[in-house]
Structure formats: C-alpha cells, structure tokens
Amino acid sequence: MVRSLFGFSIFAIVAIIASKLLFGLLGVAIGLVGKLLWLAFLGWLFYLVLKLFAPETATKVKETITGKPA
C-alpha cells in the first residue's frame, strides 16, 4: 500500500511539472502570435495612411514588398 501511494505521488509530481511546461510553452506561442498580429495591424495602418496621403509612395512600397507585376 505504501508502494502504491508512493507511485501515485511520483506520478502526480511528474504530471504537474509536465502540465506547467506544456501550458508555459502554449502561453509563449499565443503571446508570439498576438505580437505578430499586432505588428501586422500596425503595418496595415501605416500603409493605409500612406495610401491616403501619398498614393505614389504607397504603390512603390507595395511593389517593393510584393514584387513588380509582370
């Protein structure tokens, strides 16, 4: 009985450590995706403002990023 209790307690400790590691990595991944989406949104806003005030420059920026159409 003591051996079973000891085995369950070791399993519980390993499960807690594994869950903390898994959720920690998941949190980092969600944070990176959020940061990437935020930076993409800021880039879109910058391009939108540039397109409103300087359409030729916005076209040059778009050609630089996507490549000149053939």
Residue whose tokens read 């397109």? 51
- pLDDT at residue 69, as a whole number: 65
pLDDT in tens, 9-49: 999 999 999 999 999 999 999 999 999 999 999 999 999 99
**pLDDT band for position 50 (cuts 50, 70, 90):** very high
- pLDDT at residue 66, as a whole number: 86
**pLDDT band for position 70 (cuts 50, 70, 90):** low
Q: What's the CA gap between 62 and 56, in Å, rounded?
A: 10
Q: Give the number of other Cβ atoms within 10 Å of residue 52's Cβ.
A: 9
Q: How many residues does the chain have?
A: 70
- pLDDT at residue 2, as a whole number: 81
Q: What's the CA gap between 39 and 33, in Å, rounded?
A: 10
This prediction's pTM: 0.66
